[in-house]
Chain A
């Protein structure tokens, strides 16, 4: 029984067994390999982890509560702060669920731009994964190279929306801006570069690297049954051999028309997942290359026409009285979606990201639940870490690719 006072506070449900050899250590919340504010309480027997308890909440900002007190358009920039590695994915997932709720059709040009941005964000996120994962495992140089390419991708994002991390590049009903001049040329140059670097830098440095293989192979083995039961999605579930990609199975935007493969790995370990990330980047490049010619065939219309919910384009607002009135009402009061509920799943770089929105016909969402993939992947840690060695803990956390903006919300 613990005696708690101010000097020795309550240690959460941990047993300090003095008669055996176990030791309890705190991994984080300020550990550089914890990918944010993860406090992991590990019980160790020698170097073997016998119990793991992920303690989260250090980055809890109450984003779901904020959603209940903001109009739908006001909340959109807040979604940037969920998975801050790939902000547009969050913006998009939120915009998609609101669009499904009010039943909007997005113009084709906006769809092309959105799909481009989503895939660009996937590359940014995956490059970040490779960089930090390699850094955690001990391969410093990959970090530098991957961040170089990620910088080019973020330059593209910056050219488009002006921001590097918190993009807010998607609006409910479309996109705010058309692509700037020469953006598509830059994008195709970037695609070529990423494809080249993938093969000649990252894979050349890592894939057959003896140390990399020793550190990753058969580490963090996740059976398909566990992956399903723990609610794993994205690369985590495909790394366990289950072929499920929301872009393919429940297509949104232009993914139904695009030609891409969903790679799976039956190795079930961290190495298989690493290989999937590399392959997914290739597929993203493939998608981007298909999207570039599609852009020119579209009409220059960026926002859906739904005066009840979406403001008219700027030119109309400045010239037409009725558009200005609509805009005024939508800005001061906010849109009022129909009464009902929606859950729209999307394939974010981390896994299934979906927003459940319950609307009561008010300008404020009655309830908004963000289904964050990292939250469930963090829950998995309490089982997957047991029986591994302390040196592999970092590899496994890196392999789950969790982002704490999303876990704690």
Chain B
């Protein structure tokens, strides 16, 4: 269900709103991951306001597309996008990581309708997507898609490559994978912790059709997903290149922000940057 078709400029503004919410949530929580969710804000905006068939008022709608978040630590971006889309009141975002909250530090399907999976321990999302895709095929629901967002550091996990072998074996073309290629993980750059390149060649060798895009360009990401849906001969993996911490100068590209929240001063500076679009807007109006 898409109530409204947004223009790219409207979507870009939504992404800024989502980034601001992420900063506020993490500051308020006092723990959590900053870089990944900020880098994924454009992709999640594209999903919730353009790509997905979904109904925020009916999260278990039986015609919806599935969106699996494999790297569960990035869930603040999903919570912010869901609130913006109307799944729940934005006020609830301030409960992130607090006792009794539906917004757990890592997502739990049983606590919040619309999450689709429980994740956090890395490497499981692609397999869960395969299970859902097999079920949809058995049910002859060929019009429904299963999207799965994975981190790049997460690809160190063996479970991912077990799944990578299985999807082509079972001829699944209703899965579209998205790798958040931001080049960082907790201990440092991915290529120094455990090199992933040649990443495209690896997925191709495993039998996937690989597309690459700028994951911080909403229009480019939407177009790439449209192309992915047109490819039926193989499952599709989109390598979405993103900038970790995107939108806040002092967070961008710095792996130190992978697993750290902003403190009050940092959050204030980050929100200022987001309001002024990193200095591009000179006169700031509160």
| Genuine A/B complex | no
Chain B: residues with CB nearer than 8 A to chain A? none
